[in-house]
A and B are shown apart, each in its own frame.
Chain A
Amino acid sequence: MSISLSRLTKRYGPNAVVDDVNVEIPEGSLTAILGPSGSGKSTLLKLIAGLEVPDEGRVIIEGDDVTDVDPRYRDIGFCFQHYAPFRHMNVSKNIGFGLRVRKQPKDVIDVKVRELLELVKLEDKANSYPAQLSGGERQRMALARALAIEPRVLLLDEPFGALDAIVRTELRHFVKELHQQIKVTTILVTHDQDEAMEVADQLLIMHAGKIEQAGEPTELYERPATEFVHSFLGPTTLFKGVAVRPHDLELMSPSVGTIEGVVTSIMELGFEIQVTVTLSDGSTPWVQMSRNEFRALGITESSPVSVRERVAP
């Protein structure tokens, strides 16, 4: 196990921002900590980094108990949401900072910096200053800077939060590819579930300071352990009192053995149609289907229909 968190707790006043967290993070994995704002995920990351001190519990990195150890000695790389560039240094000096701290010889540093610049595709910005870079470039520089010291763990705190949508997607792929190449244990904090689902091999859902569920993304999506996880990871609707995915429901003409109801609204969203139905038991689930399906059904508003869960083929 690369990282072990046991009974980790951090309080601000009476509130436990991180509440009795117990988690094992496998070596070499790309783990996403996903949760809404205020769930404590950034604080958890900072506890792992040592930038915050826990009130209870222990942090163990590759077998070493680092709970009382200063961040300097934990061998971690950290990237911030707003990049935290050293504004008065150019890109090369930023990247080389950690190496200079470790008193590596100048020629060694130069070689490493050049390698990293290639890795993050910033070779032509070597002498530029952070103010001259775009947001995406600044974050790539931050990644190179963190990786320069060859950390055991790479921690990313909402690294794409301040970027616009296109750059965010590009950088998302970039981090995933980087991880394939370098295979350093990486933990990414985000509130964007698409991002988490796409990038991570392991997913931790956090809510109000606690880990609601941990596991592979598909597993969490298909078999959510709690209602919170279910609604956080994807579209949710209530059917027969149970939370289900709208695309796991299907409509048909009224028939025996199904719940009957009436179509109340139809929303066309590109290639998907969302149909909301009012059922005889009063509930109003919505069903998601393809255009072809919709056309085949031939329904309109107020059409009588039946709803049932799809059967796996």
Chain B
Amino acid sequence: MKHTSRKWSLRVIVIGYLAVLVGLPVGYLFIKAFSHGLGAFWSEVTKPNAVAALKLSAEVALIAVPVNTVIGIGAALLLAKKKFFGSRALTLAFDIPVAVSPIIIGVALILAYSRIGWFGGWLSKNGITILFSPVGIVMATMAVSLPYVLRSVLPVLIEVGKDQEQAARTLGAGPFRTFWQITLPAIRWGVLYGVTLTIARTLGEFGAVLVVSGDITGKTQTLPIYIFAVWDQSYDTIGAFAGALVLASISIVALMILSSLRARERKLHVDLA
């Protein structure tokens, strides 16, 4: 009896904590966004500025995600093969964006590449501006979403091991074929997981982009910035919530993909014994 009552009280505490901390805000988001009806929601979401912001976010993601995916897989291949001098430093360097405040990352990019920064003079002579420009936004986004692919691919790569690749080599496959036909398929769930995380992070980045954008009006607004601007300047509740819901929905879809990947991975482990 004592055993089950303790089990139940723990369950209640945990579920209660989660319900208040996580469930409440998420539920409220949905309620508030539709509080003035579906029509109001839709008109907010289809406002030209909102659509432009979504478009910019998508374009930034289209650049940042593939780049970080390639870099992440490349780094995973390097780190899994051999323990070379500096491999520890490399792993550490990848983890920096996760440990550092996005505001600081924004400041860092400004101080390195904008007109007042180190390379600013040379860059502006060649027509590249960082502050107030999409280039800066892309760089900031690439920086904050850097490590996710590496972190999810590396353990999978290590677990898969070298045997399959060596077998392919003995059968006559060269390095490219081995990578495309053998290695990549073997790590594909890790890659998918990492890419999904990267997309979520890329679309949702706020602090670093805010600093790099300079001010929040104008043509360089990603969706998160737009949400902030809508609230900060016009106190437009529905507008802010509508945008927030769109963003949140993308994240929730990403989450569902991630959890189904995790469940599948658990099942796979049983098969491969």
Neighbouring A residues of B174 by C-beta, 8 Å: 72
Neighbour of A87 across the interface among B169, B172, B177, B186, CB < 8 A = B186
Min distance, Cβ A92 to any Cβ of chain B, angstroms: 15
Stretch with Cβ within 8 A of B (4 or more), from A96-104, A233-241, A278-286: A96-104
Min distance, Cβ A48 to any Cβ of chain B, angstroms: 11
Min distance, Cβ A129 to any Cβ of chain B, angstroms: 9
From A83, which residue of chain B is reached at the shortest CB distance?
B163
Neighbouring A residues of B171 by C-beta, 8 Å: 97-98, 101, 145-146, 149
From A148, which residue of chain B is reached at the shortest CB distance?
B171
B residues 108-167 touching A (CB-CB < 8 Å) = 163-164, 166-167
For the complex, give the distance between the alpha carbons of A50 and B186 in Å: 23
Q: Mark A57-101, 1 if CB is under 8 A from B, else 0.
A: 000000000000011111011101010111110000000011001
Residue A178 at the B interface, CB < 8 A? no
Query: Do A131 and B272 contact each other (CB < 8 Å), given the known contacts A84-B163, A84-B164?
Result: yes
Instruction: State whether A72 touches B172 (Cβ < 8 A).
Output: yes
From B268, which residue of chain A is reached at the shortest CB distance?
A131
For the complex, give the distance between the alpha carbons of A145 and B169 in Å: 13
Instruction: State whether B177 touches A84 (Cβ < 8 A).
Output: no
Min distance, Cβ A67 to any Cβ of chain B, angstroms: 16
Chain B contact-residue range equals 20 to 34
Instruction: State whether B172 touches A78 (Cβ < 8 A).
Output: no
Instruction: State whether A87 touches B170 (Cβ < 8 A).
Output: no
Query: Do A71 and B170 contact each other (CB < 8 Å), given the known contacts A84-B164, A88-B185, A88-B186?
Result: yes
For the complex, give the distance between the alpha carbons of A240 and B272 in Å: 54
Residue B51 at the A interface, CB < 8 A? no
Query: Do A49 and B186 contact each other (CB < 8 Å), given the known contacts A82-B163, A86-B164, A131-B272?
Result: no
Query: Do A87 and B272 contact each other (CB < 8 Å), given the known contacts A49-B170, A97-B168?
Result: yes
Instruction: State whether A102 touches B172 (Cβ < 8 A).
Output: yes
Query: Do A72 and B167 contact each other (CB < 8 Å), given the known contacts A87-B272, A88-B185?
Result: no
Q: Mark B164-200, 1 if CB is under 8 A from A, else 0.
A: 1011111111100100011001101000000000000
User: Which of B166, B170, B177 has the most chain A CB atoms inside 10 A of its CB?
Assistant: B170
Min distance, Cβ A151 to any Cβ of chain B, angstroms: 8
Residue A297 at the B interface, CB < 8 A? no
Neighbouring A residues of B272 by C-beta, 8 Å: 87, 131
For the complex, give the distance between the alpha carbons of A142 and B171 in Å: 11
A residues 97-145 touching B (CB-CB < 8 Å) = 97-98, 101-102, 131, 142, 145
Neighbour of A51 across the interface among B164, B169, B182, B271, CB < 8 A = B169
Min distance, Cβ B149 to any Cβ of chain A, angstroms: 20
Neighbouring A residues of B167 by C-beta, 8 Å: 78, 80, 84, 86, 142, 145
Neighbouring B residues of A77 by C-beta, 8 Å: 170
Neighbouring B residues of A149 by C-beta, 8 Å: 171-172
Min distance, Cβ B81 to any Cβ of chain A, angstroms: 14
From B173, which residue of chain A is reached at the shortest CB distance?
A101
Instruction: State whether B186 touches A84 (Cβ < 8 A).
Output: no
Instruction: State whether A84 touches B166 (Cβ < 8 A).
Output: yes
A residues 136-173 touching B (CB-CB < 8 Å) = 142, 145-146, 149
Instruction: State whether A78 touches B166 (Cβ < 8 A).
Output: yes
For the complex, give the distance between the alpha carbons of A257 and B186 in Å: 71
For the complex, give the distance between the alpha carbons of A98 and B172 in Å: 6
For the complex, give the distance between the alpha carbons of A97 and B186 in Å: 15
Min distance, Cβ B167 to any Cβ of chain A, angstroms: 4
Instruction: State whether B185 touches A101 (Cβ < 8 A).
Output: no
For the complex, give the distance between the alpha carbons of A184 and B185 in Å: 32
Neighbouring A residues of B185 by C-beta, 8 Å: 86-88
For the complex, give the distance between the alpha carbons of A225 and B177 in Å: 47
For the complex, give the distance between the alpha carbons of A51 and B167 in Å: 10
Per CB-CB distance, the 4 closest pairs between chain A and chain B, nearest first, are A84-B163, A98-B171, A84-B167, A78-B170
* Contact sample, A vs B, 25 pairs, CB 8 Å cutoff: A50-B170, A51-B166, A51-B169, A71-B166, A72-B170, A72-B172, A72-B173, A72-B174, A73-B172, A78-B166, A78-B170, A80-B167, A84-B167, A85-B164, A86-B182, A87-B164, A87-B185, A87-B186, A88-B185, A97-B181, A98-B171, A102-B172, A131-B268, A131-B272, A145-B171
> Could you tell me which B residues sit within 8 Å of A by CB distance?
163-164, 166-174, 177, 181-182, 185-186, 188, 268, 271-272
Given A72-B170, A84-B164, A146-B170, 15 more pairs with CB closer than 8 A: A49-B170, A71-B169, A72-B169, A73-B172, A74-B170, A80-B163, A80-B166, A86-B167, A87-B186, A88-B185, A88-B186, A97-B181, A98-B172, A102-B172, A145-B171
